[in-house]
A and B are shown apart, each in its own frame.
Chain A
Amino acid sequence: MQSFDLGKEGLRALNSALHALKGQTNMTAWEVINPKGAHAIAAGVDAPVDITVRGSTGYYCAGMNKQATIRIKGSAGPGVAENMMSGTVIIDGDASQYAGATGRGGLLVIKGNASSRCGISMKGIDIVVHGNIGHMSCFMAQSGNIVVLGNAGEALGDSLYEARLFVRGSVKSLGADCIEKEMRPEHIALLAGLLKRGEADGKARPEEFRRYGSARKLYTFNIDNASAY
């Protein structure tokens, strides 16, 4: 295990070391201590390594992650795993705004709650939130899946494209063009897999969720829909 004291060695040294890991490496296990809410921890990693951050992080932890598994043993600041391409990010605590924003692949697991705009403009990422998500989550979400074991705030899925939203609890309100959709067997199967991968299979059953998606009425601009915008 490579142990890295962020307070002592600094962010640039950490990210520089992580970026130097190309392809196959035997330095696969990393631990970051004393993160103290620093921004951009482990941003831009592109290697199949396992990084554990022992504490809470600031903005954009694991930003644009590829391949790596990054575990945050605390809470995460805004934009955690933004534009993630692949790999896995697991947060033990809560996540602030824009978690998983524009993510294009991989898996983001938030074991606490996520704040507003979780999954905004997501483009293929899978997100599993064990708690609640805040308002305007999945705004303009394009593709991928989000699973919420708790409740969703106002305007869920506003201007949604093809992302699939699964919520077990209440939804305060749906955004423009977001509607509840039928849960078919393929969705139950998909959800079962996501719950398992998101370390939530012991906490909820797929049948307890409702599915939300796009009504696709705003896909082509139509003046008659102007009041929906």
Chain B
Amino acid sequence: MTDFPRTPPRFSATFTPAVNAEIRRAAATGIYDIRGGGTKRHLPHFDDLLFLGASISRYPLEGYREKCATDVWLGTRHAKKPIHLEIPVTIAGMSFGALSGPAKEALGRGASAAGTSTTTGDGGMTEEERGHSKTLVYQYLPSRYGMNPDDLRRADAIEIVVGQGAKPGGGGMLLGQKISDRVANMRNLPKGIDQRSACRHPDWTGPDDLEIKIHELREITDWEKPIYVKVGGARPYYDTALAVKAGADVVVVDGMQGGTAATQDVFIEHVGMPILACIPQAVKALQDLGMHRKVQLIVSGGIRSGADVAKALALGADAVAIGTAALIALGDNDPRWEEDYQKLGTTADAYDDWHEGRDPAGITTQDPELSKRFDPVLGGRRLKNYLKVMTLEAQTIARACGKNHLHNLEPEDLVSLTIEAAAMAGVPLAGTNWIPGRNGGW
């Protein structure tokens, strides 16, 4: 018998092993996959952009010698007490409940040491966080868990959360295994039950109501606090414009790479837009209204390095926020816990079942034994180091572009490696003067 060459097994590009595994999992369990984190798919991102650096027509600043400032003011539009941060990298909102008390403390320690702000989350303000955060932003969420006027006044700014990048249009669920006595008490709910976080605010609907709500919060806090409005990356041009119209001091736009404590995988992967696509639209809305740099723009979702910071600022943001990166800096998904990750059926850098409360790193848990693994002082120091490195990296790039302040970076400093990123970011494809879509829309 002749031994003919055989066609080797060929996997479908549509029905990949991963797709088939998910179909089998769904067929076996009857329930969708829930996980934490942000999108894991490949997307046009900051990696697709490059800085041009100085040349004959632009002269650079001397590294280590000439100053490149990094500070940022937030809330200068209406607030009597705007915030001044030393660096434009803030810590995004993450709830006590999703995170342990010591993890919240570490975020406060690290942010304060680096001269920036941290943010509460869907579960109210903890003493650990307030006590260790020089500048604390208090989230005003649909669930209003733990909401009270005293904490509102103890905050340095208020962030009205309309949506988040991982799930624009979605609420949340904190599963019962993470509802300790303390978490339950702060949320006025029984211990151990699944706690639903609403997707809409209970007492306002639409931009006209939002304007009245912002007015109420200003009255309650005697017009002292900057008021942010945070939206998921869905319709950034209109959402930014409407937030400005409603009276926001700061608009926060969170792209789909932004993390969540727990949401359906299908939601995380298929709803919302990448942050790269959001920034130019939000900036354009501010510019069209004559409010760019008057209403500040914070962007988040997939910020990992000083290069990402510099690129976000060059596109017109005033500051960025980090969440997932901050958790990794604290020690989340660290290979030192690999043995434990394996027991959970996963591996370091891929663990995302934060909602189950069994985090080997002791960060996304309420389990007292696991929490003991995490040292908030050490965690805070690691976060401070990481924030400092990001800032130094961004300064390095800015100096190379001849800028004496990070905010002087501009789209003209950037080119794109791909047509997609060029179109989204509104910068030319490298080596060309072509900005796809610029003649006839954005």
Give chain A's interface residues, CB within 8 Å of chain B: 11-12, 15-16, 19, 39-40, 43-44, 46, 58-60, 63-64, 66, 78-79, 82-83, 85, 97-98, 101-102, 104, 117, 120-121, 123-124, 139-140, 142-143, 159, 161-162, 219-221, 223
Contacts and interface: CB of A to CB of B under 8 A. Distances in A.
B196 interface: yes
A162 B194 contact: no
B58 to A, nearest CB: 48
Interface string B160-199: 0000000000000101100000000001111001101010
Contacts of A11: 219
A63 B194 contact: no
B346 interface: no
A82 B203 contact: yes
Given A19-B222, A59-B216, A120 B188 contact: no
Contact of B189 (A46, A83, A97, A162): A162
Given A64-B149, A102-B147, A162 B190 contact: yes
B203 A43 contact: no
A221 B173 contact: yes
Contacts of B223: 12
A102 B203 contact: yes
B216 A40 contact: yes
A79 B188 contact: no
The 9 closest A-B pairs by CB, nearest first: A44-B220, A123-B188, A98-B203, A79-B203, A219-B193, A102-B144, A101-B203, A64-B149, A40-B216
Nearest to B32: A223
The size class of the interface chain B forms with chain A is 20 to 34
A161 B189 contact: yes
B148 interface: yes
Interface string B278-296: 0000000000000000000
Q: Which of B149, B209, B219, B222 is packed against the most chain A CB atoms within 10 Å?
A: B219
Contacts of B198: 121, 140
A86 B2 CA distance: 90
Contacts of B148: 64, 83, 85, 104
Nearest to B204: A79
Contacts of A97: 203
Contacts of A221: 173, 175, 194
B202 interface: yes
B213 interface: yes
Contacts of B203: 60, 78-79, 82, 97-98, 101-102, 120
Contacts of B30: 223
A46 B216 CA distance: 15
Nearest to B142: A121
Interface in B201-254: 202-204, 209, 212-213, 215-216, 219-223
A16 B220 CA distance: 9
B300 interface: no
B143 interface: yes
B221 A44 contact: yes
A123 B190 CA distance: 12
Q: Which of B193, B202, B212 is packed against the most chain A CB atoms within 10 Å?
A: B202
B190 A85 contact: no
* A contact face: mostly helix, strand, loop, or mixed: loop
Contacts of A63: 216, 220
Given A16-B222, A102-B147, A143-B188, 17 more contacts: A15-B222, A43-B216, A44-B221, A58-B212, A78-B209, A79-B204, A79-B216, A83-B147, A85-B148, A101-B202, A104-B147, A104-B148, A142-B189, A143-B189, A219-B176, A220-B193, A221-B173
A104 B202 CA distance: 14
A39 B202 contact: no
B31 interface: yes
Contact of A161 (B190, B215, B220): B190
Contacts of B149: 44, 46, 64, 66, 83, 85
Contacts of B31: 223
Contacts of B187: 142
B219 A15 contact: yes
B196 A44 contact: no
Contacts of A85: 148-149
A104 B188 contact: yes
A25 B193 CA distance: 43
A39 B31 CA distance: 45
A46 B154 CA distance: 14
Nearest to A44: B220
A214 B74 CA distance: 44
B2 to A, nearest CB: 54
Given A78-B203, A117-B202, A140-B196, A39 B215 contact: yes
A104 B144 CA distance: 10
A12 B212 CA distance: 14
A44 B150 CA distance: 9
Interface string B235-275: 00000000000000000000000000000000000000000
Nearest to B147: A83
A39 B194 contact: no
Contacts of A219: 176, 190, 193-194
B133 to A, nearest CB: 22
Contacts of A19: 222
B141 to A, nearest CB: 10
A220 B147 contact: no
A121 B143 contact: yes
Contacts of A66: 149
A64 B189 contact: no
Contact of B219 (A12, A117, A139): A12
Contacts of A39: 212, 215-216
B196 A159 contact: yes
Nearest to A16: B222
